Chain A
Amino acid sequence: MNVFRFIFHNHEQVLELTLEHLWLVGISTLFAVLIGLPLGIVIARRPRLNKLILGGANIIQTIPSLALFGFLLPMPWLGQRADRLAILALTLYALLPIIRNTYTGIRGVDPAVVEAGLGMGLTDSQLLLQVQLPLALSVILSGVRVALVISIGLATIAAAIGAGGLGEFIFRGLAMVDDRVILAGAIPAAVLALVADLGVGWIERRLQPR
């Protein structure tokens, strides 16, 4: 097929953009976990903050991605480099599934098990680290999985602000009205999303508490 011939001929560039794409997604998901996990833990223990934090993450999710990239453009240090902007935007989008699943996962731990832990004299942090987080892990991971798949798709739009990634091909293809070029970006992005989905799903099943 034409598309695959095109990809084959340009495989160096496809590879380079794929790696760039992975970098954007990987680093932003990492940030989202580093921020989202503690926030999820906080609202699981202080349900009063629940509406505020989940609401905030929800609102971010509703901002159209192209608009968000545009809004962030005039920011001082961030605006200087497109990849910084892209990483920030992707991090913000990835927050909601991670916060929400951390919250749901911890709240979903059998109350009898939590009470048993308390009754045995576990401190708050022992309860969190030894009981609640391990038992919530598969739910948290499924949030990370959703975040990854969303980010891989969204990151294609980062090319609109010059952050690179597989979106380069898609935008170029759109400008050239050339399906082959569009697909040279879209197909690897779809493959990445599938691999991420299956990979994290596999880890999730391995860690499933019984």
Chain B
Amino acid sequence: MHPSSPRPVIEFRDVYYRVGSVQVLLGLNLQVQSGETLVLLGRSGSGKTTTLKLVNRLLSPTAGEVRVNGTPTAEADVIQLRRSIGWVIQEVGLFPHFTVERNIGLVPTIAGWPAPRIRARVEELLCLVGLSPDLATRFPHQLSGGQRQRVGVARALAADPEILLMDEPFGALDPLTRDELQREFLSLQKALHKTVVFVTHDLREALRLGTRIALMEAGRLITVLTPQEFLRSTDPWVAAYVRFLEMA
């Protein structure tokens, strides 16, 4: 991406984040362009999830600013901001006391959509993520891990947000289901062109899903590369990841 490319959808400007005396993020500068899948890759504790939570203001930067569509998140109406951003986390995030239908329909419901429109939307989304509409009346504990994660994706897409934040969404799944969901994610993304920020510690997943990969280490952004560049890079951190991939 060129510096002259259109205004980024998400922009981190010199962002620091600190908890007590622990610096979690140190001067992050990053731009996410419309329609791309930016993968945040890094080890546990490298600041990936923190970066993600700064976008929908589950966390606020200690210094610097995060802009979504040009507006600093600190100035935005936080409730509206969050409703305009889809948020997918590992399977634990579904509401255990709601049916699949209510889980998916929650944001449209609180946004005041009429009931028939919500029902139609839920059915549409279940098809979109490859689930049978019969599952609508089930509770999360009656679903398999893969089904729960699909419901999580459907829920995040419910109000048709421009941005999707995904925090290791496929991390807790078995390899076969993960592969299936990654494939579905790619075809979904081909159709929907959401602006996606995707957190993972799995290089394979990053290479497969990312338009660009942002490598993080100890609260710093090491580099941002396309998957092709990533495999050829001579940067020692990047090379370490790639070497490990070749070993495996």
Which A residues are closer than 8 A to B by beta carbons? 110, 112-113, 115-123, 126, 130-131, 134-135, 209-210
Contact = CB atoms under 8 A, between A and B. Distances in A.
Contacts of A135: 96-97
Interface of B: 53, 56, 58, 79-84, 87, 89-90, 92-97, 106-107, 110, 139, 141, 155, 165
A208 to B, nearest CB: 10
A116 B110 contact: no
B96 A121 contact: no
A118 B81 CA distance: 11
A116 B94 contact: yes
A123 B78 CA distance: 9
Contacts of A115: 58, 89, 93
B95 A121 contact: no
B79 A121 contact: yes
A126 B110 contact: yes
Given A113-B94, A119-B58, A121-B81, 18 more contacts: A110-B92, A110-B96, A112-B89, A113-B92, A115-B89, A115-B93, A116-B87, A116-B94, A116-B95, A119-B89, A119-B93, A120-B87, A120-B107, A121-B110, A122-B110, A131-B95, A135-B96, A210-B96
A110 B90 CA distance: 13
A119 B56 contact: yes
B89 A116 contact: yes
B82 A118 contact: yes
22 contacts: A112-B90, A112-B92, A113-B94, A116-B87, A116-B89, A116-B95, A117-B95, A119-B87, A119-B165, A120-B87, A120-B106, A120-B107, A120-B155, A121-B81, A121-B84, A121-B107, A126-B110, A131-B95, A135-B96, A135-B97, A210-B97, A210-B141
B93 A116 contact: yes
B92 A121 contact: no
Contact of A210 (B58, B83, B89, B139): B139
A121 B141 CA distance: 24
Nearest to A109: B96
B79 A113 contact: no
B110 A113 contact: no
- Most chain B CB neighbours (cut-off 10 Å) among A118, A134, A135: A118
A131 B96 CA distance: 9
Given A116-B89, A119-B58, A134 B83 contact: no
A130 B110 CA distance: 11
Contacts of A123: 79
Nearest to A124: B79
B166 to A, nearest CB: 12
Nearest to A137: B97
B82 A120 contact: yes
Contacts of B95: 113, 116-117, 131
Nearest to A131: B95
Listed from nearest, the 7 A-B pairs whose CB atoms lie closest are A116-B93, A121-B82, A121-B83, A119-B87, A112-B92, A209-B97, A210-B141
Contacts of B58: 115, 118-119
Contacts of B92: 110, 112-113, 116
B96 to A, nearest CB: 5
A64 to B, nearest CB: 41
A70 B58 CA distance: 52
